[in-house]
A and B are shown apart, each in its own frame.
Chain A
Amino acid sequence: MSEKSGGDIFLRGVWEENPVLIQILGLCPTLAVTNTVENAIAMALATAFVLVGSSGLVSLVRKLIPDQVRISAYILIIATFVTVVDLLMAAVAPSVSKALGPFVPLIVVNCMILGRAEAFASKNPFFPSILDAAGTASGFAVALLMMGGVRELLGSGSLLGLHVLPGSWEPWVIMILPPGGFLTLGVILMGLSWWWGRGQKADETARPRRWPHGVREPEERAA
């Protein structure tokens, strides 16, 4: 593990190794609950709670858990946090909890969370693990907000429930239906891919500048 400052660990998850936009992880909630900004915010907060909580706890107990059962143990920890956040949301924000429906329990299987637990928290002390999880959670939130903003604006003509486009705007209903999620994500990824690829030769534009932390280069893998 290279020595990195806390800020670097945090920012890496937000942008360079953004879980959705670079690693293409956690797409189920990204596509499913981003039809309004409000849902996107709620999903981002719920996931952040689970991600930071479980990464912190995994880091604290990492020396107590035998390797052979570590995945089961991580899933158990993650599932506990998800159950708690599901109950808390139903108790505190029933309308949001209703809107997110089955996607809150499904945070358990968000590979982004198990990914951070296995790739970082299980090998690092408490505070770096928290920072790493918070960075990934922020990166997830950035991606969800981009998706939610575009889809709510085009699909309902509003942002956060407030009508911002003129009444003559005919909402693109498809944007708040599942196909709209795929279209929006595709266009966003295409735009980012172009942006990262500026000034590079044609054969280098197809992938980001750097592979996510811990992932080997394709040539290396082939070798």
Chain B
Amino acid sequence: MSAGGPAGTGRGADDGMPAQPSSSRLVGTLGLLSVVAGVFIVLVHAWAQPRIEAHQREELRLAIEEVLGEPQRYETRWIRDGRLLDSLPAGADSSAASPVYAGFDANGRLVGYAIPGQRSGYQDVVRLIFGYDPDHGKVLGMKVLESKETPGLGAKITSDSAFIHGFDGVETPIEGVKHPARDAHQVDMITGATISSTTVISIINERLDAVGPVLANAGTRPAGAAGAPGPRAAGQATRGGDR
């Protein structure tokens, strides 16, 4: 016992207690306290966990709708062994597959796929989701889901609307430039945040290298009974005069 000891503290509890409590008393006190704390945390966790998961699902839903330009509805698809699957076989290892989200317009036609991706940025992993139209080879939109980039500089990848909207309709593969983007492949990077900007562009290019061909082969496979792959209405998301 160091630091003063009970004598100086004026605690009433020490009166009836032996000078040196038994080890079992010490262990018992801490053990009992741990059990009570554990039960309490489990109860709170049981209450909070469904709400936390609901927030995460809601966040993902909003992000998918944003990067696909408000589709009528979307469905989860899986990419596994270079093939696009409507659902994972029962019991399949979901870590070997990656999800993409297929968005459909009011007529049941495919608008594009929302594809999540991640990579190390300037400080920590940047996680984002982007919309991709495989027929035209264009990105429809991009939204950063999680980043810890420098506030005021790299963090602009989540807030700078000029940068974010630079991805709307850009053709792939994307090239980041420091001057006004002139080509349909180019995106303006953020001044003072080159690494963060490049990270976002690399994530999209890397993911498209991996899944772009798979999605292109899958074509415009309809969700329900809509038509076979073929020319689609070209009225959406094309930037006039860019080509």
Contact surface of A with B, Cβ cutoff 8 Å? 1, 35, 62-69, 72-73, 76-77, 79-80, 83-84, 87-88, 90-92, 94, 98, 101, 122-123, 155-156, 171, 173, 176-177
Contacts and interface: CB of A to CB of B under 8 A. Distances in A.
A92 B49 CA distance: 11
Contact of A67 (B12, B14, B33): B14
Contacts of B47: 91
Interface of B: 1, 5-6, 9-14, 17, 21, 25-26, 29-30, 33-34, 37, 40-41, 44-45, 47-49, 51-52, 55-56, 59, 146, 148, 150-153
B11 A66 contact: no
Secondary structure of the A contact surface, majority rule: helix
B9 A123 contact: yes
Given A66-B25, A72-B30, A177-B151, A91 B51 contact: yes
Given A1-B10, A62-B13, A80-B41, A88 B48 contact: yes
Contact of A63 (B10, B12, B25, B34): B12
A77 B33 contact: yes
Contacts of A122: 9, 11
8 shortest interchain CB distances as A-B pairs: A63-B13, A91-B51, A91-B48, A173-B152, A80-B37, A87-B48, A94-B55, A66-B21
Nearest to B192: A173
A79 B6 CA distance: 25
Contacts of B45: 87
B29 A65 contact: yes
Given A88-B44, A91-B47, A94-B52, A67 B30 contact: no
Given A76-B34, A177-B152, A123 B10 contact: yes
A79 B25 CA distance: 22
Nearest to B150: A177
A123 B25 CA distance: 21
Given A63-B12, A83-B41, A88-B48, A68 B55 contact: no
B15 to A, nearest CB: 10
29 contacts: A65-B29, A66-B21, A66-B25, A66-B29, A67-B1, A67-B11, A69-B26, A72-B30, A73-B29, A73-B30, A77-B33, A77-B37, A80-B37, A84-B40, A84-B41, A87-B44, A87-B48, A87-B52, A90-B55, A91-B52, A91-B55, A94-B52, A94-B55, A94-B56, A122-B11, A123-B9, A123-B10, A173-B153, A177-B151
A68 B41 contact: no
A64 B29 contact: yes
Contacts of B55: 90-91, 94
A139 to B, nearest CB: 24
B1 A66 contact: no
B65 to A, nearest CB: 18
A66 B10 contact: no
A67 B6 contact: yes
Nearest to A94: B55
Contact of A76 (B11, B14, B33, B48): B33
B142 to A, nearest CB: 19
A92 B47 CA distance: 11
A73 B26 CA distance: 10
Most buried by B among A63, A67, A68, A171: A67
A90 B6 CA distance: 41
